[in-house]
Amino acid sequence: MRRMFVNFWTGVVAGLGKWLGRLMPPCAHIAQALSESLDHPLAPMRWMAVFLHVRMCLLCRRYQRQLRVLRATLRAYAGQLGGTPAVALPTLSSEAKQRLKAAMQRKV
């Protein structure tokens, strides 16, 4: 009876530890999850783990901010490529333009 009692509570503690471990994964897993959160909604348990971890970990918080800066920068860069760029961006050389015009003339 006593052994059953001990086994029961050992199981409970081990299960709790496993559950807490899942709730508090290491930074490497959080970094992957932070990246994925930009691409698809995370499952609730995973989202909760990221939420709690980021609040306690300065480096993961920085990583999250940096991923957002990267996204905003690249999306703005994409806008610049299709519009009037603030700085000089690559252009076609005059030879390349001649090649393109010749190819189009052949097609016409």
Partner 1 sequence: MPLSDPQTWVEQYGDVLFRYAVARLRNPSLAEDVVQETFLAALQSSQRFQEQSSERTWLVGILKHKLIDALRRASREQATTLLDSLAAEPDEQFDEQGRWKIGDADPHAWDANPRLLLQQQEFLAVLDQCLAGLSPRLAHAFVLRELDDVSTKQICQVLGVTPTNVWIMLHRARAQLRKCLERRWFDQPSSR
What is the binding site for partner 1 (CB under 8 A)? 25-29, 31-32, 35-36, 38-40, 59-60, 62-63, 65-67, 69-78, 80-82, 85-92, 96-97, 99-101, 103-105, 107-108
Of 44 and 82, which has the nearer Cβ to partner 1? 82
Q: How far is the CB of 23 from partner 1 (least distance, A)?
A: 15
Per DSSP, the residues of the chain read -HHHHHHHHHHHHHHHHHHHHHHS--HHHHHHHHHHTTTSPPPHHHHHHHHHHHHH-HHHHHHHHHHHHHHHHHHHHHHHHHS--SS------HHHHHHHHHHHHHH-
Q: How far is the CB of 72 from partner 1 (least distance, A)?
A: 4
